[in-house]
Amino acid sequence: MRVEDLRPLPLFDGLTDEQLAALLADGAEVAVEPGRELFHEGDPADHWWVLVDGTLDLLRHVGREDTVVGRMDVPGRWAGGFRAWDEHGVYLATGRGAEPGRVLSVPATALRSWTNAWFPLGVHLLVGVFGTARSIESTVRQRASLVTLGRLAAGLAHEINNPAAATTRAVEALDTASRELLGSLSRLAHDEITPQQFLALDALRLELGPGGPEDPLARADAEEALGTWLDRHGVADPWDVAASLAAAGADPGWCARVDEALGGAGLGPALTWVASTMAVGALVAEARESTRRVSELVASVRSYSQMDRASRQAVDVTEGIESTLVMLGHKLRGGVTVRREYDATLPRLEAYPGELNQVWTNLVDNAVDAMDGRGTLTLRTRLDGDTVVVEVADTGEGMTPAVAARAFDAFFTTKDVGKGTGLGLDIARRIVEERHGGEISIESSSGATTLRVRLPLLPARGG
């Protein structure tokens, strides 16, 4: 490798030929070959790698897979060498050859010596910025992750608590109804009704079902009429029995038919038995529905977190948005109307679904906050050529041009202290642009803001 090879690289602007020659003397040319690893994540970053030509993929080990997090494909880009300024510096990713080329490898000790000699003030500034930025970003990102996790956990607990509490209430009521059912059977046996009478009673029971009046006033009138009839005929606890019978569609005429079928014997136990069977059926249905809801929530969490799935896969964008809405359901109640405008023919795309769900979470969360919990949240998906477009629109106050211009800057936020870290849209931008080769933009005016995400159907280069 010669000085002429390094001279065109913008990285070395300002260095003399003698300085470049000194770097070359301390460094070495290393060939870039597809599949060959030049440095490994977590190892001491004791060499500085400068790309001269070719391409390197940067990979991080996530779960059980190596995931591409970046790509060095522009001459002059560099990696590693952190031990020139940080004695604990390690490689943040693995560098693996993607396209043939060359890199200049310089030991971190030599890099430190030359930078101290050529840019002593710059080195002091670099060390300070390096350490401070790493500390601040690490702390704030950790806090942002914990805040988001806490919100999601609280929301999920609230979502699960409702059907779980309903199941508990249904089981407790089911215990009472079962005891009443068994007790009424015992009283029927004591009244010595015949098998034919019991079969007639059961046939009348089968005429009933969940067909009672839905209107509360009509239901109350039906219960009043039944309660009066039962009380007149000496049935114990007439109003409790009337409630279950009215919900099943019974009326005084039906009760008179039961009395006739039994020949006047065992009317009270018979009606209590019918009411108990209706109550048991209704309670079982309620418990089934509640447990189904819990199962759906667990499935949504599984879809949202992408547990036990490959990191990159064919993604149904609509499914990811819907699972995100479930996770944020607690924020959408009380004043937020969700309008869905999904393209049912939208094809799947190759992406990292867990990361895209993080994007949808940040966008929806910001939209709800922008509306202060009241307004219309519109979610749109459509296909534009070979690009999937997702729009998240809100009816909040909107952004000024100055705020919109800085919305994707790290740590920029317009929220009150303690309510935002300024990382939501920055993280979304990084995931969309750097991980998926897409674009994210803002269109805002008074009373309307739309965040638009464009994702290519084909895998992003280096993604």
Q: What is the mean pLDDT of the chain?
A: 81
Handedness of CA 463, 392, 381, 310 (dihedral sign): positive
3-state secondary structure of 65: strand
CA angle in degrees (0–180, nearest 5) for 257-263-265: 110
Pairing of strands 65-72, 47-62: antiparallel
At 256-312, the pLDDT tens digits run 999 999 887 888 899 999 988 888 888 888 888 778 777 766 766 665 555 445 567
Residue 461 has pLDDT above 50, yes or no: no
Nearest residue to 250 (alpha-carbon basis) of 269, 278, 287, 284: 278
Q: What is the mean pLDDT of residues 419-445?
A: 77
At 231-265, the pLDDT tens digits run 998 888 888 888 888 888 889 999 999 999 988 78
Taking the C-alpha atoms of residue 290 and residue 208, their distance in angstroms, rounded to an integer, is 24
Taking the C-alpha atoms of residue 21 and residue 324, their distance in angstroms, rounded to an integer, is 56
Percent of the chain with pLDDT over 70: 82
Distances 110 to 17, 22, 25, 116, 223 between C-alpha atoms, Å: 17, 10, 10, 10, 92
Band the pLDDT of 420: cuts 50, 70, 90.
very low
Dihedral (Cα; 271, 276, 279, 281), 10-degree rounding:
-110
DSSP string, 409-449: STT---SPTTS--S-HHHHHHIIIIIITS-EEEEEEETTEE
> What pLDDT is recorded for position 97?
94
Delimiting residues of CATH 2.60.120.10 domain(s) in the chain: 3-118
Does an H or E element contain 79, and which?
Answer: strand 78-80
Is 0.85 topped by the overall pTM? no
Delimiting residues of CATH 3.30.565.10 domain(s) in the chain: 306-456
> What pLDDT is recorded for position 393?
93
Does an H or E element contain 152, and which?
Answer: helix 120-190
Place of tokens 């249904």: 170
Residue 142 has pLDDT above 80, yes or no: no
Q: What is the mean pLDDT of residues 197-211?
A: 87
Amino acid at 4: E
Contact (Cβ atoms closer than 8 angstroms) between residue 430 and residue 415: no
Please state the length of the chain. Answer: 463
Place of tokens 């809100």: 394
Taking the C-alpha atoms of residue 229 and residue 219, their distance in angstroms, rounded to an integer, is 16
**b/e code 45-66 from CB counts within 10 Å (16+ = b):** bbbbbbbbebbbbbbeeeeeeb
Which residues lie across from 61 on neighbouring strands? 66
Taking the C-alpha atoms of residue 106 and residue 388, their distance in angstroms, rounded to an integer, is 43
Topology of the domain covering 3-118 = Jelly Rolls (2.60.120)
DSSP string, 23-49: HHHHSEEEEE-TT-EEE-TTSB--EEE
Taking the C-alpha atoms of residue 282 and residue 210, their distance in angstroms, rounded to an integer, is 8
Contact (Cβ atoms closer than 8 angstroms) between residue 377 and residue 336: yes
Topology of the domain covering 306-456 = Heat Shock Protein 90 (3.30.565)
Query: What number of helices (H) and strands (E) belong to the chain?
Result: 13, 13
**b/e code 289-309 from CB counts within 10 Å (16+ = b):** ebeebbeebeebbebbebeee
Residue 96 has pLDDT above 90, yes or no: yes
